[in-house]
């Protein structure tokens, strides 16, 4: 949508109560999932309009897989379904925040880690730390 939004359009976007997601050129918005109980950031993924709709209508997180180029019902194969406790959108409506309860083994990452963010950056190197 670029930077030419008029001030009234900007006001509606930021203060309005209408859901008007601003998808990027690829039709996506960023989605960050945190654990509803611990607050830990579990993963950062992407949603297209269909994924957001499915997330809202089912109460389970749906994303858009950029690598597979398809709708992704998180947990459909892994069992790590994410029950959505709360769904928020940011000021300029190009990112959402999901508070989720991971089902199955309680994890979110395909590597087997609980969170995808299992490495800390320290001194320019990575350190694995829960």
Which residues make up the interface to a copy of itself (CB under 8 A)?
Answer: 2-3, 14-19, 30, 32, 34, 38-41, 43-44, 56, 67-68, 86-92, 95-97, 109-111, 113, 116-121, 124-128
Distance of alpha carbon 124 from alpha carbon 130, whole angstroms: 19
Q: Which CB atom, from 60 or from 90, has the smaller least distance to a copy of itself?
A: 90
Q: Which whole-number Å values give the CA distances from 109 to 23, 62, 115, 124, 127, in the listed order?
A: 25, 15, 6, 23, 17
Does residue 97 contact residue 88 with C-beta atoms inside 8 Å? yes
Query: Which residues sit opposite 60 in a β-bridge?
Result: 83
CB of 27 to a copy of itself, least distance (A): 15
Q: How far is the CB of 114 from a copy of itself (least distance, A)?
A: 12
- CB of residue 6 to a copy of itself, shortest distance in Å: 14
């Amino acid at each position: 949508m670029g930077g030419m939004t008029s001030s009234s359009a900007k006001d509606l976007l930021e203060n309005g109560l209408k859901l008007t997601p601003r998808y990027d050129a690829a039709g996506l918005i960023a989605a960050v999932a945190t654990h509803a109980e611990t607050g830990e950031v579990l993963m950062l993924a992407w949603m297209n309009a269909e994924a957001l709709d499915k997330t809202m209508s089912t109460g389970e997180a749906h994303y858009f897989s950029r690598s597979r180029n398809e709708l992704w019902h998180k947990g459909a194969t892994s069992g790590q379904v994410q029950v959505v406790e709360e769904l928020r959108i940011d000021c300029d409506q190009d990112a959402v925040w999901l508070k989720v309860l991971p089902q199955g083994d309680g994890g979110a990452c395909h590597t087997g880690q609980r969170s995808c963010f299992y490495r800390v950056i320290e001194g320019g190197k990575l350190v694995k730390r829960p």
